[in-house]
Structure 1
Amino acid sequence: MHWAEGFIAADWGTTNRRAYLIDGDGKCIDEFEDEKGILSVPKGGFEAAVQEIRERLGDRPLLLAGMVGSNRGWIEAPYVPCPAGIEDLAKALVWAEAEQTAIVPGVSFIDADEADVMRGEEVQLLGAYAAGLVSANALVCHPGTHNKWARLESGGIARFTTVMTGELFNLLREHSILADLLSGSAEPGEAFASGVRRGLDDECLTAELFKVRARVLLGQADAKDAPSYGSGLLIGADVRAGLRQRGEAEIVVMGRPELTRLYSEALRIAGKRCHEVDGEQAFLAGAKRIVELIG
């Protein structure tokens, strides 16, 4: 198999996987997404899961990113420490199948007081820079289950912070006393903005979360607004944490549009300008650049 003739890039996460067929001209000509994340793959089943990708998209070389390279995935790809550029990722690829299946390493950040890791987002972050979608020095917000706030310096990931906003919202929605109130969708609007403003304040978040229910019980809020208010409360606190490392860099919100629009609105409420970048476009740019560096 020859990478220059086309390849498959897959973003393989904990609960989902997305795979794209890239032709020799660098264009995405086919793709699929399903819920076969790494947790759904039985022990010893990754070879079959990889073969399934090729059966759906063709017998091409395969570049895998995300949790498939974790200690819970197929083969562990050790973290590349910050500062990390896309050339560092390409040099540290782990070959699951010689010359035909490579796993992208994650990125780690550690100093005297901090420790953090990412897998999958690094391809998007560095791909966006490679494609000219973000500047060499930027603060990038990457919403998701585990939101990342990453500082790019000279085109590389210099440091980052993870905020468990998405996972916390899902846990509250499914397993907490707020579950019945948070079952609807969160939308920009006055309820969301009110939650964001409260989250931006330096208040105790766990106390504010209980008040989501109390406000409805005591007639201070409408139950139908609870999902938007609760989402805004969490995102506001998230933005407050993320902006601590801004400096003078531009702010970019990168990911899926249904999430980036909420974070962009929260940043606007916080008085910050930003622009949005489609995460899929950034991932494809990153995958293509890594393949170019494979040589």
Structure 2
Amino acid sequence: MRRDGSKVATMTSFIAVDWGTSNRRAFRIEDGQVVASERDDRGAASVAAADYPAEVAGIRQRLGDLPMLLAGMVGSNIGWRSVTYVAAPAGLADVAAALDWVDDRTAIVPGLSYRDGVHADVMRGEEVQLLGAVAAGLVPAEALLCQPGTHCKWATVERGAITRFTTAMTGELFALLRTHGVLARQLGHPVEPGAAFLAGVAEGAKRDLAASLFAIRARGVLGLADDADAASFASGLLIGADTAARIESGTTVHILADPALGALYAGAIDALGGTSHAIDSQAAFVAGITRIKDLAA
């Protein structure tokens, strides 16, 4: 249902696009199942606003001339057009009611905002996966969800709605440390979820992040640690600090991420006394966007 109360044609088959900053994924969905998909690097940061009609037409040429729902940074100020956020607490029905219709067959998912005193937060695209995980029964209606990435999202779901959430720039900080500053030369090795990573998690839980980061430099200079382990330790340090700020002993966290990154967060959560559960993020997205489609019909 649109904001003006009018209905749109029921979409049995449709195209859903998860349009991130750097990448995008497009799915042809029929009766709730993905029958075709594509992924490329045509993220919002590389597409000018005037080029979106051609991009959307190209997706339709490849995946089918079908109605389309677009989620993610396509609805931001670096995307096609800026769409007003839905304020949390919000569920899928609230999101569906606020779809921004570009035309009769193309709509942009709005994203969520959250305010608590001086603290403010926003998300675009993650809400589809987070709420979709609940809609698909992959997580309980009352849960703490974690979606790691460049900007890690931690969301509390109550009665099937996102009531509050926090974004941590964990991945971006690690990328910056790896490419700029005094630690860059030490952080070139791959991150492994082993002893060095877990040592970093334990150090990060002390939450003295600035000092703990410089100690990586000092240990290398003094020969107290192998630089081959520095990237794993630094990653553990950042993820450990992020995780320790969100959970207590006994907290259950449902993680939506690719297997490699998800394993790092699972290791940190479990090491700090929580219990982690891995969730299929694509299944969650498909469930969420399909439910939004159904509610908008």
Q: What is the TM-score when the length of structure 2 is the normalising length?
A: 0.94
CA displacement 1:53-74 (0-9 Å, x = unmatched):
1122111111100010012211
Select the residue among 153, 158, 161 that pairs with 2:158: 153
Which residue of the partner structure matches residue 83 of structure 2? 77
1:173-184 alignment runs, 5 A limit: 173-184=178-189
Take 2:251 and 2:291, find their aligned partners in 1: how far apart are those partners? 24
1:241 equivalent in structure 2: 245
Residue aligning to 2:292: 290
Once the two structures are superposed, residues 131-186 of structure 1 have per-residue CA deviations (whole angstroms, 9 ceiling, x without a partner) of 00111111111101100111101110000111000111111111222222222221
* Residue number among 199, 206, 209 corresponding to 2:210 in the alignment: 206
Match for 1:279: what amino acid? S
Superposition deviation, residue 250 in structure 1:
3.4
Match of 1:106 in 2: 111
Q: Which one-letter code corresponds to 1:228 in the other structure?
A: S
Kindly indicate whether structure 1 or structure 2 has the higher relative contact order, using CA contacts under 8 Å at least 6 residues apart.
Answer: 2
1:27 matched to 2:33? The reply is: yes
Q: Distance in 1 between matches of 2:89 and 2:222?
A: 50
Going from structure 1 to structure 2, the CA distance change for 1:3 and 1:209 (only over 3 Å counts) comes to: farther
The amino acid of 1:13's aligned partner reads G
Q: Distance in 2 between matches of 1:115 and 1:107?
A: 11
Assess, with a 3 A threshold, how the Cα gap between structure 1 residues 161 and 35 changes in structure 2: closer, same or farther.
same
Q: Does 1:225 align with 2:229?
A: yes
Q: Sequence identity of aligned pairs in percent?
A: 52
Contact between 2:49 and 2:81, CA under 8 Å: does it hold in 1?
no
Give the conservation status (yes or no) of the 8 Å contact 2:247–2:274.
Answer: no
Equivalent residue, structure 2, for 1:12: 19
Determine helix, strand or coil for the equivalent of 1:176: coil
2:71 aligned residue = 65
Structure 1 residue 37 corresponds to structure 2 residue 39: no
1:76-135 CA deviation, whole Å, 9 max, x = no partner?
22110011000000000000122x111001101012231110111100010000000111
Matched letter for residue 262 of structure 1 = L
Q: Tell me which stretches of 4 or more aligned residues in structure 1 moved more than 2 Å.
A: 1-5
Distance in 1, Cα, partners of 2:167 & 2:123: 8
1:47 is matched with: 53
Counterpart AA for 1:8: I
Is contact 2:256-2:262 (8 Å) kept?
Answer: yes
The 1-side partners of 2:184 and 2:175 are apart by 9
Two-structure CA RMSD over aligned residues (Å): 1.6
Where 2:50 maps in the other structure, the secondary structure is: coil
1:87 equivalent in structure 2: 93
Q: Tell me how far 1:206 sits from its aligned partner.
A: 1.6
**Residue 256 of structure 1 pairs with residue 261 of structure 2:** no
**CA shift for structure 1 position 4:** 2.8
The one-letter code of the counterpart of 1:14 is T
Q: Is the 8 A contact 2:243 2:268 kept in 1?
A: yes
Query: Displacement, 1:209?
Result: 1.1
Measure, in 1, the Cα distance between the counterparts of 2:125 and 2:181: 29
Q: Is the 8 Å Cα contact of residues 107 and 118 (structure 1) preserved in structure 2?
A: yes
Matches of 1:35 and 1:3 in 2, distance apart?
31
> Are residues 1:141 and 2:146 paired?
yes
Q: Name the CA distance, whole Å, in 1 between partners of 2:218 and 2:272.
A: 26
Q: Contact (CA 8 Å) 1:2, 1:61: kept in 2 or not?
A: no
Aligned residue number for residue 268 of structure 1? 270
Aligned partners of 2:146 and 2:256 also within 8 Å: yes
Q: How far is the alpha carbon of 1:249 from its aligned partner?
A: 6.3
Amino acid in the other structure paired with 1:235: I
Equivalent pair of 1:110/1:116 in contact (CA under 8 Å): yes
Select 1:281's aligned residue among 283, 289, 295: 283
Q: Secondary structure at the match of 2:121?
A: strand
1:255 touches 1:280 (CA, 8 Å); kept in 2? no
CA distance in structure 2 between the partners assigned to 1:60 and 1:261 by the alignment:
37
In structure 2, distance between residues paired with 1:20 and 1:125:
18
SS in structure 1 of the partner of residue 25 of structure 2? strand
